[in-house]
Structure 1
Amino acid sequence: MQVAGKVIVVTGGANGIGRALCERFVHDGAKSVIVADLDFELASSAAHELGDPASAIGCNVAIEDQVRELVTLTLAQHGRIDLFCSNAGVTVKGTECTPDHDWQRLWDVNVMSHVYAARAVLPSMLERGEGYLLQTSSAAGILTEVGSAAYSVTKHAAVSFAEWLSIKYRRRGIRVSCLCPAGVQTQFLNDEDTIHQFLATSAVTPEDVAECVVQGLLEERFLLLPHHQVQEFFAFKGEDYDRWLHNFSRIAQKLERMEQKSKKPE
């Protein structure tokens, strides 16, 4: 899919990967780019800086009515949505003992937001016989994130849902891509977190991610991986699952020791 001339919605579009996507889409000649974000003021500022053809809409993607309203307003103003980028996401550190309310919050934002977007935007796309869904998951969705059980589980679910959508609607003109970056140089990376420090050593820029996305859309690839090492780890996982689990557990153990060491008083 060529970005030029397309009507595009990006959730979580006010900063980070979402902001870089919006900037790239405007640069590549999109007809309209809707910067959707929980922080409407920040989204408005981003849209103003991007200039025409960007506009802003406030949206809490964890609330289905707001996602539906986002789609309704966009269709009313622009007549169609060619590409819906379901990009917003959240994380929390923790194990199986992470509080239920945090599990639920990550489930609502990292999984159900994709479901809400599909429910809202697919009818008009299917009626036209074409449309594209870009869903941001994470490398944690095809590998794991040892520092957060809830993040890993919800990102795996996001990949699974994107896969299901691709299989279900491919023959009806709907294309689906799933973006799975590892470390990206945004505020999402916590400098005080040992695991995030590890991810930062190979982190790419949001602009690098946007470049990967544009190329992936052009080729209509399902899995978009801005980090070459993620592709290698994912391939190894499929070749020898048990060995992959063993090796990843060693990494987890090493990171845990590093974290414990960092907490010791000087």
Structure 2
Amino acid sequence: MQIGNSVVAVTGAASGIGRALAATFAAGGARVVLGDIDTAGLAATAESIGAAGGDVRTLRVDAASAADLEAMIATAERDFGPIDVFVANAGIIGGPGLGTEADWDRILEVNLRAHIRAATLLVPTWQQRGHGHFVAVASAAGLLTQIGAAGYAVTKHAAVGFAEWLAVTYGDDGIGVTCVCPMGVDTPLLTAIRESDDADARVAADSVVSAGAVVTAQQVAELTVAAVADGSFLVLPHPEVRDMAIGKITDPDRWIHGMRRYQRSLRG
């Protein structure tokens, strides 16, 4: 995938990883459409990219809304041309613990079904064109788990599984897929759960920041854009996640007992 002069759409672009991805793609010569429900943050992202010479468009997008995704795609096609790279970045931590029915409804919509809806809208066109690239910003929780937040753990596993399925099913049609699985990233999302009044949420945050270094959103963005350019599937900003995942698969009972010990130490 050639980044220069490509058309890129990024959901959740108002802050964090989404903002960094949008800026990094733009710096590489891409024309970028930014979507988010946070319109003030979206304007700040656009202003920053524009000041650096980037060409961007913005619109309010709830990634869980098929109509909003259709509007995002239409905006890109009207102003720039067909989308070459779609970045499904928008995500939420969801309710702590087991969560409520409403918590599950919302997190499934944002963290999983948003990816499915975007792919459903884009894949037929990409098949006709013979190229396109889907970026799923998931989490190391999708390869391991997330202490303290069942909804987050389950939906990130599902996002990884969906990305794998896309790569297998449509790779021969020229469609690339990149799946991004970091641990701790210095974003407003991590800050919010670290400062939460809920004990389970704080344990979830502690499990992330204690497991490895907290990297910057820019580091994640640079690795991701490089992977898109190379056509690589898995992005691990924390390389140690690979060994953790191997250990989990090799001896799941040992891994589960180890995670329980880790959880006890955090709660203690």
Q: TM-score, normalised by structure 1?
A: 0.91
| Aligned twin of 1:7 | 7
Q: Secondary structure at the match of 2:62?
A: coil
CA distance in 2, matches of 1:115, 1:5: 26
The letter of the residue matching 2:17 is: I
CA distance in 2, matches of 1:200, 1:240: 24
| Aligned twin of 1:239 | 250
Quick check: 1:85–1:133 contact (8 Å CA) kept in 2? yes
The letter of the residue matching 1:91 is: I
Quick check: 1:48–1:54 contact (8 Å CA) kept in 2? no
CA distance in 2, matches of 1:250, 1:101: 30
When the two structures are aligned, how many residues end up with a matched partner?
Answer: 255
| Aligned twin of 1:46 | 45
Q: Deviations over 1:145-174 (max 9, x none)?
A: 011001101111111111111111000010
Quick check: 1:44–1:55 contact (8 Å CA) kept in 2? no
Gaps of 5+ in 1: 258-266
Q: Deviations over 1:154-211 (max 9, x none)?
A: 1111111111111110000100111111110011113332331342352100011012
Q: Secondary structure at the match of 2:48?
A: helix
Q: Deviations over 1:199-226 (max 9, x none)?
A: 2352100011012102222332211110
CA distance in 1, matches of 2:258, 2:227: 30
| Aligned twin of 1:154 | 155
Greater mean alpha carbon deviation, residues 232-241 or residues 137-146: 232-241
CA distance in 2, matches of 1:101, 1:198: 25
Q: Which residue of the other structure, out of 188, 191, 195, is the alignment partner of 2:194?
A: 191
CA distance in 2, matches of 1:220, 1:246: 36
Question: What is the deviation of 1:77?
Answer: 2.1
| Aligned twin of 1:103 | 104
Q: Deviations over 1:5-29 (max 9, x none)?
A: 2110000011000000111111122
Q: TM-score, normalised by structure 2?
A: 0.91
Quick check: 1:133–1:177 contact (8 Å CA) kept in 2? yes
Q: Which residue of the other structure, out of 70, 90, 105, is the alignment partner of 2:72?
A: 70
Quick check: 2:163–2:179 contact (8 Å CA) kept in 1? yes
The letter of the residue matching 1:101 is: A
Q: Secondary structure at the match of 1:152?
A: helix
Q: Which residue of the other structure, out of 231, 242, 248, is the alignment partner of 1:220?
A: 231
| Aligned twin of 1:260 | none
The letter of the residue matching 2:209 is: A
The letter of the residue matching 2:223 is: C
Quick check: 1:68–1:116 contact (8 Å CA) kept in 2? no
Identity %: 37
Q: Deviations over 1:43-75 (max 9, x none)?
A: 123112211312212111111111112112212
| Aligned twin of 2:209 | 200
CA distance in 2, matches of 1:219, 1:244: 33
| Aligned twin of 2:261 | 250
The letter of the residue matching 2:227 is: G
Quick check: 2:147–2:203 contact (8 Å CA) kept in 1? no
Quick check: 2:85–2:133 contact (8 Å CA) kept in 1? yes
CA distance in 1, matches of 2:72, 2:170: 22
The letter of the residue matching 2:79 is: Q
The letter of the residue matching 2:145 is: T
CA distance in 2, matches of 1:45, 1:187: 15
Q: Secondary structure at the match of 2:96?
A: coil
